Structure 1
Amino acid sequence: MAGSTDVRYDIKDIGLAEAGRRRIAWAAREMPVLGLIRESFERDRPLEGVRIVACVHVTTETANLAYTLRAGGAEAAICASNPLSTQDDVAAALAADGFRVYAIKGEDNETYYRHIHQALDLRPHIVIDDGADVVTTIHRDRRELIPEMYGSTEETTTGVIRLRAMERDGVLAFPVIAVNDADTKHFFDNRYGTGQSTLDGIIRATNILLAGKTVVVAGYGWCGKGIAMRARGMGAKVIVTEVDPIRALEAVMDGYRVMPMVDAAPEGDIFITATGNINVIDRQHFEAMKDGAILANAGHFNAEINLTMLDDIAVEGREVLRPYVEEYRLSGGKRIIVLGEGRLINLVAAEGHPASVMDMSFANQALSAAYLVREAGRLEKRVYQVPEEIDVEVARLKLKAMGIAIDQLTPQQEEYLRSWQSGT
């Protein structure tokens, strides 16, 4: 396997560390909330002696989260949550600064899971997960770690879906905080971060003009809303596909055309999946698409586009046209273009979410980790929402960092809201 191997790290090239440090410092400029939390962590040391495994996209933003956890007293091991999302210079900087790091951009599936196990050798008290691969690995293969676990946090919609399924099945062995569901995460990270960075990835990979194109967005959750909004803002004609009647109605009221994928397939120039489900684009859709249709995924796993089926029906093997752009030829000469191997296009072909958005998400992660330490042994084995006081504090700090003041309730107003006796 390519890459430098050491007991404490497995990365591409430690010589990239200085370049990584420069980019991490640049991201920190746009992460003032996490910076304020880091200062408080340095004073109070709420994570003293705590071992944390962070399975994350190894980017400049997550590096700043890692430094914040260390400032709080934690020992951290870091592994990739996606084989193609690692920024190798960031991994090098973290390794050079003493973190255990197991991540190489482009690693195969075997290496991906080996890296998870190497990180788990730290014997964590807390897992910061992104897609629930580490939590499920602990439950399946590393159950000896469970007695020492305080709990886990989860960054993604996909991961929360898996964890709630584990809770329903009665197999979840420790508490989990659904950071993804915090208002200061999904309202902003999912909508504004995913909206901008998904289109950034598509444009970097293809250099196409979106204006005038028909963009089909599969899924109208917070990520889909952001993608549709940004695509329309760049001049695209947007079609939304949905299975949820309420979200479909919302998309209609927001001014988009809504239809089944099989009807959208012949119209679309670009298809973007953001559902968290499998086979959202399947054989009947491939066969109905126009020549040259472009497919990209914004969901966590590379399962939303049925690439196995596409490979089966292709009459010619994949041809790489440019980095992260592959062409499949179907019978009759029709070509289907797939970006980033069907993986998260914003991290495969671009740099992921802007740091100013991740500032709030990772502030929630840091504060939720400290909460798990404070509440260790008192939480049930289920999926929890981020405590409201953490969510509100993150929003307050973000407004403060932006120089924005808001009103406060007067004592009279507070009393009015507590009372049931006032009426017409």
Structure 2
Amino acid sequence: MSERPSAIEIEGLWKRFYKGGNEGLLWLTLSKALRRMISGETGRADTFWALQDIDLKVRRGEAVGIIGPNGAGKSTMLKILSRVLRPTRGRVKVNGRLSGLIEVGAGFHGDLSGRENVYINGSILGMSRREIRDKFDRIIEFAGVGDFLDMPVKRYSSGMYVRLGFSVAAHMEPDVLLVDEVLSVGDVQFKARCMEAMRGFLRRGTSILFVSHNLAAIKRFCDRVVLLDHGRIRLIGTPDEAISEYSKLVSDLEEANPTGVENSHIGGRAKALGPAAITAVRILDEAGQPARTLISGRPVRIELDYRIDPAAGAIVDPNFAISVHMFGAGLFYQFESLRDGLRLGSCVGSGTVAVELPRLSLGEGVYQIGVALADEKGLPEHDWHDRAYRINVVADSQTDGPVYQPRTWQVLTKQYDAQPANGVGPEPFYPESVEPPCHSMGVMP
């Protein structure tokens, strides 16, 4: 079988920026160039390469995800493909009609109404006025902004912006669709409609380049995934391969900076916000040993060492909060010592608290644990280690998804479709409950 033709071809792509941010001012550029010539300098010290030697081909009807830490070059690549930016070196070719959803409200004029912006944005994307008019009702219906159609879009919420922008881009019927992190805005129902619309594009042969920090969506939706790191391709592979390598990358960053990584996606440890601090965190397996790899359904213990400065006085009933995040996604669940009934009274000096999870309810995957010395509402008040501790959870092959759910199968009735020749069948069979060899989902103490 012959390989599908390419929709996107990227060869030797480099993109350079200057940290000063004023390279667009002609007189500054010329004056700096003249000073470099006089001083004999051969280059600029403030050069920053956002993309370095990128080679990538995307086939027709293929969904390719792009992941990586903040600043890896993901959005820069999409902006070059959409011709918002020009490459410094290399060749970029898009075969067919391209539509992009790069930034919230891109191409919208705040003082114009939603109706007017549909025509303007559609024209920018390459649609004719007649094409926009023919699809106008469907665009508005999909976006769900019919009641606000004649309102200036500057009064729209960010979710309404995204819905209208995506709807216009979707009805362009592109050959190539670029989608950045903008779908993180909006309600759950609209996100589901967007994902279904993108699956429809794939069935019709549209190629999609999908940038997201939501690794669960990347895994469900993409055929291949590109992992970017400091502007270079670290890996191109299946979603599982790329996410696994991304997890290793995060581990390297954590080990290189054990006090925390300043990255809104990876998380890190904040400076102590008050007179109290969490001084150590231990995640222990069922044998009571520190572990980064845990097993679904098995006991887990989390211990927190803390210190409250005696000079600042005692804290009454300090509240310890623990949060669990799916790696590359949002909050999975959070629980707190006060809401669980633990009251320590007046505390000062050092101490240790622990929480027992009788059965770990997480399904197979990579998770991040956050801890905090919080106020009575669970908000960080004194100290916060935001998603600073990463764990790997392994499970058997019987359960898929982020939740490890115990279950019991039962046969309530059993009938035979055919009767024996003598017309007498066996007695109905009512076996005992059948329970697969899996562990129950834990309830937070």
Q: TM-score range by the shorter chain?
A: 0.3 to 0.5
How high is the TM-score relative to the length of structure 1?
Answer: 0.34
Bigger fraction of residues in strand: 2
Considering only CA atoms, is the larger Rg found in Structure 1 or Structure 2?
A: 2
Bigger fraction of residues in helix: 1
